[in-house]
């Protein structure tokens, strides 16, 4: 497989126990790298890097391979797979982490296979910023490094995160994280502060209220697609990131035109919207190009105001 348009995704591969208003689902395939890889695989060749335990079923690896995802960098070691348990509020708008068992993740250091070190598009899923830095040190001049992080690392590892941010082109975080990272409440001002720390492109996700892109071309907004049926928001942010980087990889990069990133925002939002339609990554797993095209048409209709705003 050629290197020129591939995506390297590093992050958690997990079993999730999900306490939802409609019932509890135990041992669902999850993890940020799983969702992002599945979403990106619709666009570009994907290489996943992560770790699982010897309890991780071969079917899950086969599922990833079936979507064309290269699993050479998915280590299998003795022990239990990372496990996360979360409980959602009745309206699914918030969740509480009930338990995080690092298991085999506790001693994990990402090892990028030699053949994957020149992958041009790199997505650093939400893991310890020191591990994200280890990935950056192993890859060779990628065209784009995108990263996610979370409150845990913003609070506990500011130094490592600060170092990482200097090496990241695109940071994808939610509004709460942007406020915590910058120490500023207003998101426009928070974005300015974050740009100064390194990333020239910043996406601030706001769940069902859409996402904002702050880059050298200004501010751009993409809504979340309004769905009647939302079953499970787990992984929506990771699917968003996977759709975004997958689309950029398919085009060969974030071109100087502002429109490339703006279109990528719609692909990202489309992937997020598919993700929430079923429990776990099931919807993303079987997504085909025709589904994506239909959803993009709906997005276009959603924001089409018929031309000039003044006339």
Residues lying near ligand AMP in the complex (CB under 6 A): 12, 14, 16, 30-32, 84, 100, 126-127, 234-238
- Looking at residue 70, the DSSP 8-state letter turns out to be E
Q: Contact 38/281 with Cβ under 8 angstroms? A: yes
State in angstroms the smallest separation of the CB of 84 from ligand AMP.
4
State in angstroms the smallest separation of the CB of 55 from ligand AMP.
15
- Closer CB to ligand AMP, residue 195 or residue 225? 225
Which among 290, 244, 293, 287 has a CA at the least distance from the CA of 36? 244
State in angstroms the smallest separation of the CB of 139 from ligand AMP.
20
Which among 25, 63, 29, 58 has a CA at the least distance from the CA of 46? 63
- Closer CB to ligand AMP, residue 30 or residue 254? 30
- Closer CB to ligand AMP, residue 32 or residue 38? 32
State in angstroms the smallest separation of the CB of 14 from ligand AMP.
3
- With vertex at residue 150, the alpha carbon angle to CA 116 and CA 140, rounded to the nearest 5 degrees, is 20
- Closer CB to ligand AMP, residue 142 or residue 235? 235
- Report in angstroms the alpha-carbon separations of 227 from 8, 205, 234, 236, 298: 30, 17, 16, 13, 11
* Spacing of C-alpha 245 from chain mean position: 9
- Closer CB to ligand AMP, residue 12 or residue 201? 12
State in angstroms the smallest separation of the CB of 94 from ligand AMP.
12
Question: What is the longest distance spanned by two Cα atoms in the chain?
Answer: 66
State in angstroms the smallest separation of the CB of 215 from ligand AMP.
22
In DSSP terms, which residues pair with 204 in a beta bridge?
A: 173, 212
Residue nearest to ligand AMP (CB): 30
- Closer CB to ligand AMP, residue 5 or residue 135? 135
Task: Convert 110-171 into a string of H (helix), E (strand) and C (coil).
Answer: CCCCHHHCCCCEEEECCCCHHHHHHHHHHCCCCCEEEECCCHHHHHHCHHHHHHHHCCCCEE
- Closer CB to ligand AMP, residue 132 or residue 195? 132
What number of H helices and E strands is found in the chain? Answer: 11, 13
- Where are the extended beta strands (E) located within the chain? 7-10, 14-20, 23-30, 46-52, 69-76, 83-88, 95-101, 121-124, 144-147, 170-174, 201-205, 211-215, 218-222
Q: Which two tokens stand for residue 302?
A: 């959603």
- Closer CB to ligand AMP, residue 52 or residue 194? 52
State in angstroms the smallest separation of the CB of 49 from ligand AMP.
13
State in angstroms the smallest separation of the CB of 102 from ligand AMP.
8
- Closer CB to ligand AMP, residue 83 or residue 250? 83
Between CA 223 and CA 228 the distance in angstroms is: 15
State in angstroms the smallest separation of the CB of 82 from ligand AMP.
7
- Report in angstroms the alpha-carbon separations of 1 from 45, 144, 262: 8, 19, 28
């Amino acid at each position: 497989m050629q290197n020129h348009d591939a995506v390297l995704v590093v992050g958690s591969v997990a079993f999730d126990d999900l306490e939802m208003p409609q019932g509890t689902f135990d041992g669902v395939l999850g993890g940020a790298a799983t969702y992002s890889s599945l979403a990106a695989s619709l666009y570009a060749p994907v290489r996943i890097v992560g770790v699982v335990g010897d309890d991780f079923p071969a079917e899950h690896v086969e599922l990833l391979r079936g979507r064309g995802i290269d699993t050479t960098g998915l280590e299998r070691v003795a022990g239990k797979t990372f496990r996360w348990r979360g409980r959602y509020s009745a309206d699914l708008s918030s969740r509480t982490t009930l338990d995080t068992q690092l298991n085999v993740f506790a001693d994990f250091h990402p090892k990028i296979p030699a053949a994957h070190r020149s992958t041009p598009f790199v997505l650093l899923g939400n893991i310890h910023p020191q591990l994200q830095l280890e990935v950056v040190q192993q890859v060779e001049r990628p065209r784009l490094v995108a990263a996610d992080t979370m409150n845990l690392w913003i609070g506990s590892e500011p130094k490592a995160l600060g170092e990482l941010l200097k090496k990241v082109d695109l940071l994808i975080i939610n509004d709460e994280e942007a406020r915590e990272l910058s120490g500023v409440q207003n998101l426009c001002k928070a974005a300015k502060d974050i740009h100064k720390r390194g990333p020239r492109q910043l996406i601030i996700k706001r769940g069902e209220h859409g996402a904002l892109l702050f880059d050298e071309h200004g501010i751009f907004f993409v809504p979340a697609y309004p769905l009647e049926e939302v079953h499970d928001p787990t992984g929506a942010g990771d699917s968003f990131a996977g759709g975004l980087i997958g689309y950029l990889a398919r085009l060969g990069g974030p071109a100087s035109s502002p429109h490339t990133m703006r279109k990528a925002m719609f692909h990202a939002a489309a992937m997020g919207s598919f993700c929430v339609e079923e429990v776990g990554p099931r919807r993303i797993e079987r997504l085909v190009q025709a589904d994506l095209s239909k959803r993009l048409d709906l997005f276009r209709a959603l924001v089409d105001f018929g031309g000039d705003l003044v006339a």
